[in-house]
Chain A
Amino acid sequence: MRMDESREVESIRKVLLGDVQAFEFLVRKYQGPVYNLMLRNVGEGDMAADLAQEAFLRAYQRLETFKTGKRFFPWLYTLSLNVARDWLRSKGRDIHVYMENAAVMVRDEDRPDTQTQLNDRLDGGKAFEFVMRLDPKYREALILRFRHDFSMQEIASALGITVSGAKMRISRGLEMIRHQFKEVSNDR
């Protein structure tokens, strides 16, 4: 177990024994990915913050159900996804069809200018934009796999699908992005 994971385990133990402040370590460590997950799904900063807060609150309340020996982040991510789903459903939206233009969340300084796009269409930023345009069910699978290094089992568990389903989503997601790269290439 890495030092970082060891500290996580210790924090969880302390929280369960009544040390509420020990939870702050987990919040600070994972607030970025959880907030960005919400942002990708609701597209608006204040609401994303509220939902991220709700996710951490739910994680705190259910910490007794977390199985020590497993990784904490996939457990938290699964729970956060459920918070996002609940909110989207309450608004009559579905996580699988939302985010037509997810690239709106890219900061201006991170957005490649037109010249760069033309000259270097295969850079990571472009790939990221393509990923953000994907149907969320493929997008989240790719982010979990390549951004957060989840195992196939962890992806399957987080997304509520089978392991073979997770593999299919990643394979299909990659295929769709390759296709977009080709389209850009053909348009030139």
Chain B
Amino acid sequence: MTDDREKRRLDNTIMEGLRSMPEVDPPKGFSARVMENLEPKRPSAWTRFRLWLTEPRSVTFTPVRMIPVFAAAMVLLVLGFYAMDTNDSGNGMRMSTIRFVLNDSGMNARTVAVIGSFNSWQAHDAAMRFDDATGAWVLEAQLPPGDHEYMFLVDGQKLMADPLAQMTRDDGFGNRNSIVFVNGTYEQAL
């Protein structure tokens, strides 16, 4: 403990000695000697632009004057939320929620999926849930505007057209695909 105290005392002495260490003044006229050898710089356009970008600027903040700014910010925020709620696909295309429904009607299906042109006719991630209240298989999906062909895949093997679809199209293999039109302006239920 005593050694530690002595060490700290010495360290403080050393630090203080360094802080107050004497410095020799440079020769008289030193700065003038330096300056007389310097030529003014000729900044490039890029340097000027970079310096302009990083130039410190003072900003005055007056709470009363900020009210319109806050109001505008709130409007933008609300519009932003609204825009998010319209389910933009990310590529500028507005998505619509489509509700697929298939009445079980005594099929006693174990699984039902919606496969179609919008999911490359793949059953994964397209499984419908069974709604006990209505006795129907249900799936809500986000689809872009346009017409989409689809089928129900029952128990992983049986393809079935949508009995409620307003239009069908021949698939060229003897089956008829159901078609859903999505206009992008409102939600649709099939």
A-to-B contact residues, CB < 8 Å: 6, 9, 13, 15-21, 23-24, 27-28, 31-33, 35-36, 39, 45, 49, 52-53, 56-57, 60, 63-64, 68, 105-107, 110, 122-128, 130-131, 142-143, 146-147, 174, 177-178, 181
How close is B15's CB to chain A, nearest CB, in angstroms? 5
How close is A103's CB to chain B, nearest CB, in angstroms? 11
By the criterion CB–CB under 8 Å, are B27 and A49 in contact?
yes
Indicate whether A147 sits within 8 Å of B40 (C-beta atoms), given known contacts A13-B55, A122-B13: no
By the criterion CB–CB under 8 Å, are A127 and B47 in contact?
no
Contact of B21 with A by CB under 8 A: yes
By the criterion CB–CB under 8 Å, are B39 and A127 in contact?
no
Indicate whether A60 sits within 8 Å of B38 (C-beta atoms), given known contacts A36-B23, A124-B20: yes
List the one stretch of B28-36, B93-101, B167-175 in contact with chain A: B28-36
How close is A48's CB to chain B, nearest CB, in angstroms? 8
How close is A114's CB to chain B, nearest CB, in angstroms? 18
25 contacts between A and B (CB under 8 A): A16-B43, A16-B51, A17-B48, A18-B40, A19-B40, A20-B35, A24-B34, A27-B31, A27-B35, A32-B23, A35-B30, A49-B30, A53-B37, A124-B18, A124-B21, A127-B14, A127-B17, A127-B18, A128-B20, A131-B14, A131-B18, A142-B18, A143-B18, A143-B21, A146-B18
Contact of B18 among A27, A122, A128 (CB under 8 A): A128
Chain A contact residues, majority secondary structure: helix
By the criterion CB–CB under 8 Å, are B55 and A52 in contact?
no
Whole-angstrom distance between the alpha carbons of A64 and B51 in the complex? 11
Contact of B37 among A32, A49, A57, A106 (CB under 8 A): A57
Contact of B25 with A by CB under 8 A: yes
A residues in contact with B47, CB < 8 Å:
16-17, 64
Whole-angstrom distance between the alpha carbons of A106 and B22 in the complex? 7
Whole-angstrom distance between the alpha carbons of A81 and B38 in the complex? 21
Indicate whether A17 sits within 8 Å of B14 (C-beta atoms), given known contacts A24-B35, A52-B26, A53-B34: no
By the criterion CB–CB under 8 Å, are B17 and A131 in contact?
yes
Nearest residue (CB) in A for B47 is: A16
Contact of A28 among B7, B9, B22, B31 (CB under 8 A): B31
A residues in contact with B16, CB < 8 Å:
124, 127
A residues in contact with B22, CB < 8 Å:
106-107, 110, 128
By the criterion CB–CB under 8 Å, are B18 and A147 in contact?
yes
How close is B93's CB to chain A, nearest CB, in angstroms? 42
By the criterion CB–CB under 8 Å, are A124 and B13 in contact?
yes
Indicate whether A53 sits within 8 Å of B23 (C-beta atoms), given known contacts A15-B41, A127-B14, A178-B7: no
Nearest 9 A/B pairs, CB to CB: A127-B17, A124-B17, A146-B18, A35-B26, A110-B22, A20-B40, A127-B14, A128-B17, A27-B31
Contact of A45 among B9, B27, B37, B51 (CB under 8 A): B27
B residues in contact with A28, CB < 8 Å:
31
B residues in contact with A178, CB < 8 Å:
7, 10-11, 14
Contact of B24 with A by CB under 8 A: yes
By the criterion CB–CB under 8 Å, are A123 and B13 in contact?
yes
How close is B54's CB to chain A, nearest CB, in angstroms? 6
